[in-house]
Amino acid sequence: MLTESQVLEVLQNIKDPSFNKSIVETKGIREVKLKENHVSVKIALAKTGTPEQMELQQRVVQALKNAGAESVGLRFEQLDEQEIKNLGGSAQGATGPGLLSEEKTTFIAVTSGKGGVGKSTVSVNLATTLARLGKKVGIIDADIYGFSVPDMMGIEERPRVSGERIFPVERFGVKVISMGFFVEDNAPVIWRGPMLGKMINNFFSEVEWGDLDYLILDLPPGTGDVALDIHTMLPHSKEIIVTTPHATAAFVAARAGAMAIKTHHEIIGVVENMSYFESKVTGEKEFVFGQGGGERLAEELKTELLGQIPLGQPEVDLDNFAPSVYEESHPIGEIYKGIANRIIEKNE
CATH at 14: 3.30.300.130
Residue 97 lies in a domain: no
| 112 and 68 both lie in a single domain | no
- Grouping H, G, I as helix, E, B as strand and the rest as coil, residue 43 is strand
| 268 and 121 both lie in a single domain | yes
Whether 253 contacts 297, CB under 8 Å = yes
**Is beta strand 266-273 parallel, antiparallel or unpaired with respect to 305-309?**
parallel
Q: Where are the alpha helices (DSSP H) in 67-165?
A: 81-86, 119-132, 149-152
Alpha carbon dihedral 302, 304, 310, 314, in 10-degree steps, equals -120
How far, rounded to the nearest angstrom, does the alpha carbon of residue 104 sit from its chain's CA centroid?
22
**pLDDT band per the 50, 70, 90 thresholds, residue 96:** very low
Q: How many domains does the chain have?
A: 2
Q: What does the alpha-carbon distance between residue 112 and residue 119 come to, in Å, rounded to a whole number? A: 7
Highest mean pLDDT among 50-59, 113-122, 138-147, 271-280: 271-280
Closest among 206, 136, 141, 204 to 176, alpha carbons compared? 141
- What pLDDT score does 261 carry? 66
Amino acid letter at 307? G
Residue 202 lies in a domain: yes
Q: How much is the mean pLDDT over the chain?
A: 83
Does position 156 have pLDDT exceeding 90, yes or no? no
**Is beta strand 160-162 parallel, antiparallel or unpaired with respect to 165-167?**
antiparallel
| 51 and 171 both lie in a single domain | no
Average pLDDT of the segment spanning 311-321: 84
Count how many Cα atoms sit within 13 Å of the Cα of residue 201 in the half-sphere of its side chain. Answer: 18
Closest among 136, 213, 131 to 172, alpha carbons compared? 131
- What pLDDT score does 110 carry? 92
| 26 and 124 both lie in a single domain | no
| 44 and 136 both lie in a single domain | no
Residue 92 lies in a domain: no
Does position 198 have pLDDT exceeding 90, yes or no? no
Q: Which of 86, 120, 143 is the last residue of a domain?
A: 86
| 178 and 111 both lie in a single domain | yes
Highest mean pLDDT among 43-57, 131-145, 187-201: 131-145
Count Cβ neighbours within 10 Å for each residue of 16-27 and write b for 16 or more, e otherwise.
Answer: bbbbeebbbebe
Does position 195 have pLDDT exceeding 50, yes or no? yes
Average pLDDT of the segment spanning 308-337: 90
The pTM is what? 0.68
Closest among 37, 295, 48, 286 to 185, alpha carbons compared? 37
| 61 and 182 both lie in a single domain | no
- What pLDDT score does 36 carry? 84
Does position 95 have pLDDT exceeding 60, yes or no? no
Residue 93 lies in a domain: no
| 172 and 271 both lie in a single domain | yes
Range of 22's domain?
Answer: 4-86
| 174 and 320 both lie in a single domain | yes
CATH of the domain at 138: 3.40.50.300
**pLDDT band per the 50, 70, 90 thresholds, residue 34:** very high
Per-residue pLDDT reduced to its tens digit, 77-89: 888 888 888 887 6
Number of residues assigned to the chain: 348
Residue 144 lies in a domain: yes
- What pLDDT score does 235 carry? 57
Residue 91 lies in a domain: no
| 222 and 309 both lie in a single domain | yes
Phi, psi of 31 (to 5 degrees): -160, 140
Q: Which of 32, 54, 86 is the last residue of a domain?
A: 86
% the chain with pLDDT above 90: 41
- Grouping H, G, I as helix, E, B as strand and the rest as coil, residue 127 is helix
- What pLDDT score does 262 carry? 63
| Cα radius of gyration (the chain) | 22
| 184 and 278 both lie in a single domain | yes
Does position 52 have pLDDT exceeding 50, yes or no? yes
Does position 115 have pLDDT exceeding 80, yes or no? no
Does position 132 have pLDDT exceeding 90, yes or no? yes
Residue 100 lies in a domain: no
Does position 178 have pLDDT exceeding 60, yes or no? yes
Q: Which residue pairs from 226-231 have beta carbons closer than 8 angstroms and sit at least 24 positions apart in sequence?
A: 226/142, 226/143, 226/144, 226/196, 226/197, 226/200, 227/111, 227/256, 227/259, 228/259, 229/196, 229/197, 229/200, 229/201, 230/109, 230/142, 230/200, 231/259, 231/260, 231/263, 231/265
- What pLDDT score does 330 carry? 94
Strands, DSSP E only, in 46-133? Answer: 71-78, 106-111
Per-residue pLDDT reduced to its tens digit, 213-247: 999 999 877 655 555 666 556 656 789 999 999 88
Amino acid letter at 191? W
Task: Give me the DSSP letters along 265-287.
Answer: -EEEEEEEES--EE-TTT--EE-
List, in order, residues 6 or more apart from 124 with CB less than 8 Å away. 139, 149, 152, 153, 218, 324, 325
List, in order, residues 6 or more apart from 325 with CB less than 8 Å away. 124, 125, 128, 152, 153, 154, 172, 314
Closest among 97, 152, 156 to 124, alpha carbons compared? 152
Does position 1 have pLDDT exceeding 80, yes or no? no
**pLDDT band per the 50, 70, 90 thresholds, residue 75:** confident
Residue 176 lies in a domain: yes
| 62 and 141 both lie in a single domain | no
Average pLDDT of the segment spanning 155-179: 89
Q: Which of 55, 86, 117 is the last residue of a domain?
A: 86
